[in-house]
Structure 1
Amino acid sequence: MTRALLVLLFPLIVFSGCTSIQLEPLPEGMTDQPPADWDKRTQTLRQFSHWTLSGKLAVRQPSDSGTAVINRWTQQGPAYQLDLSSSFMGMGRTRLEGVPGMIELTTSGGDTYRSSDPGDLVEAATGWQLPIDSLAWWIRGLPAPDGQPRLLFNQQQKLAILEQDGWEIRYDRWHGFLDGMPELPSRITALKGDKRVRVVIASWRREE
């Protein structure tokens, strides 16, 4: 009798357990199934680790907002050098140099600051909250190595949304900047709560 009762109750137990799992619905027109060439594309973009781009950066958050020109963002593997020009908060020409977990910021006045927390240093110097270490991956259309990402693709089989570390990165436009390379983002918008970071890329270039 006990065994028969368990057999009868088992579907109810399973059903009850399943109903407790809440799956977030996919946005209309989106799928979480990557296109057939996604692995190949990802491998190519990971190998594209030495590059330079130029463009514009806009930050909007409750405390302040501003824009900057990206004169030059050079990435050499994990190391980066980012030259910005902005009239916002008297930033002038600002240079960021670093590797994941370490950053050096040089102001237009020549003052240099170093920190093991890139995000905190950038916020202290500029008032902006920028996920510097992750942006080098997101800007190529890749999830950062740390953290569990969620990828959503549109009907054109292009990456449309990447969610990671509390940020939602929207890929607004793609462009074929370089011969022999997959299309690269030409505009991305990163959102986290009431913060927004938008990057518009004017050019990409390979570096040795």
Structure 2
Amino acid sequence: MNLPFLRIGLPVLLSLLLLGGCELSAPREPVVFGVQPADWANTAARLRGFDHWTIEGKISVRRDDRIDTGQIRSWTQDEAAYDIELASVILGLGATRVRGDDATVTIHQAGEEPVTLLQDPERAFFSAFGWPLPVRQISSWIKGLPAAVSDGSAPEITFGAGGEVIGIEQDGWSVSLRKHQPVDIGSYQPLLLPHFVQLSRLPIPGQDAQVTIKMAISNWTPFR
């Protein structure tokens, strides 16, 4: 079963999240808007080190006039490895489980044989579905942190009144983060993590749709 023949729907959206792929460069020093907290370097280091977590919530994807929605039953991140369980009624798709790491991803849709992909995730995703997804950066962005790899452009960070990151501009994507709440990660101080994330990108040459991805995270759970 080849990727272009997978049924299009939200479960496939997260099938490629967090994958590695083509090598990208380290980002330049960010451009800062708002007041950067004095302890931001320490907070950023803690966010980078927070790479064992599970989230639950809802997700929607808008492409021009089409809106797809679904439920994230569980998204577990263990450094580069991830395990995502999705539920959706989009196009009649049922439960979907996605497991992978930097090199491969396996998609298992209910009632079908598992499909393992070894391609560059961004290129494969756009070839199949016709709209972009920042698969290398999103695991950093949803924590309120610029991605560790980029296309070479300098990210822009906007801080809110409470010192939290409320906006990131990187690699052509605009990321809005809201509803920050302290999450106990088992260390001396909780991390302030967003519970609403929105990513949007205007059409670019060869990609004729404007895309907006919204995630409402109901729960952040750390694990060791």
**Shorter-chain-normalised TM-score: which range?**
0.7 to 0.9
Q: Report 1:2-151 matches (<5 A).
A: 31=33, 33-62=35-64, 64-113=66-115, 114-121=117-124, 129-147=132-150, 148-151=154-157
Q: Percent identity?
A: 29
- 2:223 is matched with 207
The reply to whether residue 164 of structure 1 matches residue 164 of structure 2 is: no
Deviations 1:134-183 (A, max 9, x none): 21111111111112321111233221110111111001221113263221
Structure showing greater relative contact order (alpha-carbon pairs closer than 8 Å, 6 or more residues apart)? 2
Further displaced range: 58-67 or 45-54: 58-67
Amino acid at match of 1:85: A
Larger displacement relative to structure 2 (41-50 or 129-138): 129-138
* Cα distance per residue 1:69-105 (max 9 Å; x no partner): 0000000001111111111123311222222353222
* Counterpart contact for 1:178–1:204, Cα < 8 Å: no
Calculate the TM-score normalised by the size of structure 2: 0.72
1: CA distance, partners of 2:92 / 2:130: 11
Structure 1 residue corresponding to 2:211, chosen from 190, 195, 202 = 195
Aligned partners of 2:145 and 2:165 also within 8 Å? no
**Post-superposition CA distance 1:31-71 (Å, at most 9, x none):** 25521111111111111111111111111012632111000
User: Bigger radius of gyration, 1 or 2?
Assistant: 1
Give 2:113's aligned amino acid.
D
1:103·1:116 contact (CA, 8 Å) conserved in 2? Answer: no
Q: Which runs of 5+ in 2 are unaligned?
A: 1-30, 203-209
- Give the secondary structure class of the aligned counterpart of 2:46: helix
Measured after TM superposition, the shift of residue 126 of structure 1 is: 7.1
AA of the residue aligned to 2:109: T
For normalisation by structure 1, the TM-score amounts to 0.77
Comparing 37-46 and 96-105, the one that deviates more: 96-105
**RMSD across aligned C-alpha pairs, in angstroms?**
2.4
Give the gaps of 5 or more residues in structure 1: 1-25
**Aligned partner of residue 133 in structure 1, secondary structure:** coil
> May I ask how many residue pairs the two structures share in their alignment?
180
Q: Is the 8 A contact 1:138 1:169 kept in 2?
A: yes
Q: Which moved more, 1:158-167 or 1:121-130?
A: 121-130
SS at match of 1:89: helix
Instruction: Mark the CA change 1:104 to 1:119 in structure 2 (over 3 Å): closer, same or farther.
Output: farther
Amino acid at match of 1:150: E
Higher helix share: 1
| Residues 157/199 of structure 1: CA separation in 2 closer, same or farther (3 Å cut) | same
